[in-house]
Structure formats: structure tokens, C-alpha cells
Amino acid sequence: MPNVVEFVTFTLKNGVAVSDFLLASDKCNSGFLSAQNGYIARKLIVKDEVWADWVLWATMEDAQAAMNAENENDAAQEYFSFIENCDMRHFSVERSY
């Protein structure tokens, strides 16, 4: 079964300080994402005003289980409170080089 990349693009809400957002992102990663079954790696990237979260999961089931669990986690909810205009997609990894 191939790994899955979760790719989410978004913008920050008006008035959000990048430093506050990055702190919330760190807490979300250490207090939620990295503890989820099947989590492999995460990259938070930005270009101009558009941010993206790139998360590598072992399986699609792991990615979906994490999405279902995020509503029950305070660190994840704090992170999501900073963002808007989300577009989430999942990709199967066909080749790794």
C-alpha cells in the first residue's frame, strides 16, 4: 500500500501574527500530529500569503483517522483557529527518489 501525502493550502486570518501561528503549529505537531498512528513527516511551507501543510502518512486510513481525531484535540483546534481558505487534497505516493 503506498504512502499518502496530505497537501493543504490555506491563508492566515486577518490580524494573525506569524509568530503566534508558528507557535500554534509547533504545538499541533508535537501535541497531536506526530503522535498519530502512521505519521511519518510534516513540512510547513509558505510563498507570499499562501501557506501549505505537507504531511506524509503511512496509509490513507491513517490520514483519515487523524482528520477524525483532530476535533478532539486542543492543540489541533488552536492551530486551525488561525487559518482560513483551506484546500485539502490527498495524493498516493507512486515513486520516492
Check residue 75 and give its pLDDT.
Answer: 97
| Domain annotation covers residue 83 | yes
CA–CA separation, 48 and 8 (whole Å) = 16
DSSP 59: -
**CA-to-CA dists, residue 83 to 5, 46, 62, 63, angstroms:** 20, 13, 23, 20
Q: What percent of the chain has pLDDT over 70?
A: 100
Which pLDDT band, with edges at 50, 70 and 90, does 78 fall under? very high
Which residues fall within 8 angstroms of residue 36, CB to CB, at 6 or more apart?
62, 65, 66, 69
Residues of the domain holding 60 = 4-92
At 58-76, the pLDDT tens digits run: 999 999 999 999 999 999 9
| Domain annotation covers residue 55 | yes
At 40-52, the pLDDT tens digits run: 999 999 999 999 9
| Domain annotation covers residue 24 | yes
79 has pLDDT over 90: yes
Check residue 1 and give its pLDDT.
Answer: 75
Q: Give the Cβ contact number of residue 24 at 10 Å.
A: 20
| Domain annotation covers residue 97 | no
H-helix or E-strand spanning residue 75: helix 74-80
| Domain annotation covers residue 60 | yes
Number of domains comprising the chain: 1
54 has pLDDT over 80: yes
- Whichever domain contains 79, its CATH number is 3.30.70.100
